[in-house]
Amino acid sequence: MVDSISPQSGSRTPTTESVADHETIGSNIIVDPESTSKRKREEWIQIDEHRRAPVRLHYEFWLLKGEDGKPDTKYAFCKYCREHMYKASSCYGTSNASIHLKSCQAYLKFVAENPHSGAVFDQKVFIRLFAEAIMFHSYSLSIVEHEKLRVMLSYLQPKVQHVSRNTILKYCVKEHEILKATLHSKLDSIDSRICFTCDCWSAITKHGYLTLTAHYVDNEWVLRSRILNFRHFPPPHKGHDIYAFVLGLLKEWGLESKTFSLTVDNASSNDVMITLLKSDIHSSSPLPCDGKFFHVRCCAHILNLIVQSGMQTIDVSVDKLRHLVLYIDASDIRKCKFDQCVKEMNVDFVGKLQYDVCTRWNSIYKMIKRCLEARKAIDLFATHESNFDYGSSTNEWEVVSLFANFLNPLMI
């Protein structure tokens, strides 16, 4: 049975009048205008009631015996005023029960005197906040089914009703739809044009994805950036396919007429996509300056191409550093030896060596910079390792040092 949180001690047998003497108001509220007959105590049986509706936690449930002496009709009684009751059949809802609590003086008084009693706990609010936490922190949906987390939540709030990952997923989708509708409304209300950035890539699972981001100045003159879509983009990834996919996203948001520019990388498929998309948008809603500024090439991608081209000149020197980092990071014993070398050379080096990513020029710079900081320790490590073939000569160190100096001003 649900524990009573009424200020009255203990639960009592209902002293309501005969059901036959009651008058039904609305769908399920039962009131007694003038009857004086009483039901006997032995005609009522208190029962356990486990329902999902949070409002039912404020009611006690009793079965009324029929003429044959067997439990017949189920009623719910307010735990606070002990006067309001309603027929708790499965065909009835809980709207009247909620309405009663809003005007029940005994309940309102109890909440005012016991603000931390938990009487105002709302299951729906709890699930919504849980869903927001999952989305904000990128938690797995299965977190709601973690046993120890459920134990902790039950300790903090005994009334909490645990949900499955499917239920929390529905709330996450619902919250997403609310946020999407809010953003849609804001984008409709702004007077300025919108600049878009679009990028395609393949995840480690080999699945393709496409992201469309909007950049705009709102009516308060504040620059905003919002990710509109993060979608799975199945192959092929040719120009015509990207064009159809992006155009569909723009139409989904209704932003074709507010488009100013689209920034993409320098892939040849994007050139085809831009040509088709520009023609389509310009024919229905003329672009500013006849679309002269519609196609914007990604500066970061251009910079990466420049760095990768320059890397070909010193590829051997950088390649040695790359293998050096891999060699040291491949074994705990080597890591310990390298740390010992850092201590012996008294090098101001904290952390670990960093490996580069070929598609990110700044990661190459960071790898070179970290190796230059630990240069003395690396040279000492090379002398201690008989199988180490990736030591750099003085000239090679000077080359990568010059290249790092060249890249440094480009770092943001």
Q: Which domains does the chain have, with CATH numbers?
A: 19-113 (no CATH), 121-189 (no CATH), 192-297 (3.30.420), 309-410 (no CATH)
Q: What is the pLDDT of residues 236-252, one digit of tens each?
A: 889 999 999 999 999 99
| pLDDT at res. 229 | 94
| pLDDT at res. 245 | 95
- Among the ranges given (30-39, 82-91, 204-213, 255-264), the one the predictor scored with the smallest mean pLDDT: 30-39
- Among the ranges given (186-190, 202-206, 389-393), the one the predictor scored with the smallest mean pLDDT: 389-393
pLDDT higher for 109 or 411?
109
Mean pLDDT calculated for residue range 263-270? 92
Contacts of 31 (CB under 8 A, 6+ apart): 22, 23, 25
pLDDT higher for 146 or 284?
146
Contact between residue 85 and residue 16 where contact means Cβ atoms under 8 Å apart = yes
Helix (H, G, I), strand (E, B) or coil at 240: helix
| pLDDT at res. 393 | 83
Residue 266, pLDDT > 80, answer yes
pLDDT higher for 358 or 66?
358
In angstroms, the CA 374 to CA 351 distance is: 10
* DSSP for residue 256: G
CA angle at residue 282 from 277 to 283, to 5 degrees? 105
Contact between residue 284 and residue 256 where contact means Cβ atoms under 8 Å apart = yes
Mean pLDDT calculated for residue range 202-220? 91
For 27, 44, 86, 99, 127, the CA distances from 93, given in Å and listed in that order, are 9, 23, 10, 12, 21
Residue 411, pLDDT > 50, answer yes
Residue 81, pLDDT > 80, answer yes
pLDDT higher for 101 or 91?
101
Residue 361, pLDDT > 70, answer yes
How does residue 37 score in pLDDT terms, banded at 50, 70 and 90? very low
| pLDDT at res. 71 | 61
| pLDDT at res. 127 | 92
Instruction: Tell me the average pLDDT of the chain.
Output: 81
Side-chain-side CA neighbours of 252 within 13 Å: the count stands at 13
- Among the ranges given (180-184, 192-196, 198-202, 357-361), the one the predictor scored with the smallest mean pLDDT: 357-361
Q: What is the pLDDT of residues 374-392, one digit of tens each?
A: 999 998 988 888 777 777 7
Chain centroid to Cα 88, Å, comes to 38
pLDDT higher for 203 or 261?
261
In angstroms, the CA 324 to CA 75 distance is: 77
Q: What is the DSSP string of 224-259?
A: EEEEEEEEE-PSP--HHHHHHHHHHHHHHHT-GGGE
DSSP alpha helices (H): ranges in 239-353? Answer: 239-253, 268-284, 299-311, 315-329, 332-344
| pLDDT at res. 115 | 65
Query: How many C-beta atoms surround the C-beta of residue 95 within 10 A?
Result: 12
Best-predicted range by mean pLDDT (101-110, 175-184, 349-358): 175-184
Contact between residue 216 and residue 195 where contact means Cβ atoms under 8 Å apart = yes
Helix (H, G, I), strand (E, B) or coil at 273: helix
Residue 34, pLDDT > 70, answer no
In angstroms, the CA 242 to CA 147 distance is: 44
In angstroms, the CA 51 to CA 93 distance is: 12
Is residue 377 within a helix (H) or strand (E), and if so which, with residue range?
A: helix 375-384
Chain centroid to Cα 34, Å, comes to 57
Phi, psi of 251 (to 5 degrees): -70, -35
In angstroms, the CA 194 to CA 215 distance is: 6
How does residue 5 score in pLDDT terms, banded at 50, 70 and 90? very low
pLDDT higher for 259 or 2?
259
In angstroms, the CA 342 to CA 384 distance is: 13
In angstroms, the CA 66 to CA 288 distance is: 80
How does residue 193 score in pLDDT terms, banded at 50, 70 and 90? very high
pLDDT higher for 343 or 35?
343
How does residue 68 score in pLDDT terms, banded at 50, 70 and 90? low
| pLDDT at res. 117 | 58
In angstroms, the CA 333 to CA 22 distance is: 85
Q: Name the percent of the chain lying above pLDDT 70.
A: 82
- Among the ranges given (4-13, 42-51, 113-122, 195-204), the one the predictor scored with the smallest mean pLDDT: 4-13
Burial group, residue 171, by CB count within 10 angstroms (0-12, 13-18, 19+): buried
Contact between residue 374 and residue 349 where contact means Cβ atoms under 8 Å apart = yes
Helix (H, G, I), strand (E, B) or coil at 196: strand
